[in-house]
Structure 1
Amino acid sequence: MTLHAPYDPDNIFGKVLRGEIPAVKVWEDDNVLAFMDVFPQSEGHVLVISKTSTARTLLEMEPKALGRLIGATQRTARAVVKALEPEGFQIMQFNGEAGGQTVFHLHFHIIPRWADRSLKGHGHAPMADTETLRALADRIAAALD
């Protein structure tokens, strides 16, 4: 998809937000949802999305909504680090198909990293077990400030 295509409300994150597809939620409020990536690149991989914006890319998002989303990403990353004690972490955000974006609803990836564990490819990791994701989500949620 190009950077300028219209928003498709039937994208997978739109379906998650409408409750049509289950998600292992870490936390949510009126504006954002943080949930476990079902194809994690690393243990504890969390996605953070806006519940109020239909922006597909960073360039489309309204400044106030983007501020809330960045704040939620930071809050969630702090909880991931506190709960899982990784040696580092990555925040990733992709724009357009050529930029690596696979779901066209603006989102941020929080990916914990350890020196002795390899990173699985974006969009190429195997599907995780729901029970494993739930246990990680509970640990991260318990570490929220």
Structure 2
Amino acid sequence: MPIDATLPYDDANIFARILRGEIPSKKVYEDEFALAFHDINPQAPTHILVIPKGRYVSWDDFSAHAPDAEIAGFIRAVGHVAREQGLVAPGYRLLANVGAHGHQEVPHFHVHLFGGRPLGPMLTRP
């Protein structure tokens, strides 16, 4: 169910629990700013989630409240994962869902990294 991205951070969300080690994940990268792991329901041959370690609900929350070093560190982590997975040359897609209209399902900011095949158009046209 999509969430309201303006709600306060919920420490019981699944990504917060993964960060605390309460739920296992298939980790591909971790540094002081970010954790990256395989999605449990992949939508492409490569489908990795990259999450900041800070308590941010959405892209809007993260961009408005994270310190500059954390924003830069997170963006660098996303790029590192794409390079490490061999996705740069063939291409890949980044997706961040925000709020109910964006169909955000977990109230912890995260970026989906998709690759491994041609992905087609982003949205269907009316």
Q: TM-score range by the shorter chain?
A: 0.7 to 0.9
Q: Report the 3-state secondary structure (helix = DSSP H, G, I; strand = E; otherwise coil) of the residue aligned with 1:2.
A: coil
Aligned to 2:10: 8
Q: Report the 3-state secondary structure (helix = DSSP H, G, I; strand = E; otherwise coil) of the residue aligned with 2:85.
A: helix
Unaligned runs of at least 5 residues, structure 2:
122-126
Note the C-alpha offset of 1:86. Answer: 7.5
Higher mean displacement: 55-64 or 68-77: 55-64
Within the alignment, does 1:70 sit opposite 2:75 as a pair? yes
Q: Percent identity?
A: 35
Report if the CA contact (8 A) 2:45-2:117 is conserved: no
**Aligned 1:11-26 pairs, distance under 5 A:** 11-26=13-28
Report if the CA contact (8 A) 2:46-2:116 is conserved: no
Q: Report the 3-state secondary structure (helix = DSSP H, G, I; strand = E; otherwise coil) of the residue aligned with 1:68.
A: helix
Q: Report the 3-state secondary structure (helix = DSSP H, G, I; strand = E; otherwise coil) of the residue aligned with 1:5.
A: coil
Distance 1:39 1:104 in 2: 18
Aligned to 1:56: 57
What TM-score does the superposition give when structure 2 sets the normalisation length? 0.81
Report if the CA contact (8 A) 1:86-1:114 is conserved: no
Distance 1:100 1:113 in 2: 23
1:65-111, CA deviations, whole angstroms, 9 ceiling, x for partnerless residues?
222111100111111225xx883310111111221211110111110
Q: Which has the higher contact order (CA 8 A, sep 6+)?
A: 2
RMSD of aligned Cα (Å): 2.1
Note the C-alpha offset of 1:63. Answer: 4.1
Report if the CA contact (8 A) 1:7-1:55 is conserved: yes
Unaligned runs of at least 5 residues, structure 1:
120-145
Q: Report the 3-state secondary structure (helix = DSSP H, G, I; strand = E; otherwise coil) of the residue aligned with 2:83.
A: helix
Report how many aligned residue pairs link the two structures.
115
Q: Whose helix fraction is larger, Structure 1's or Structure 2's?
A: 1
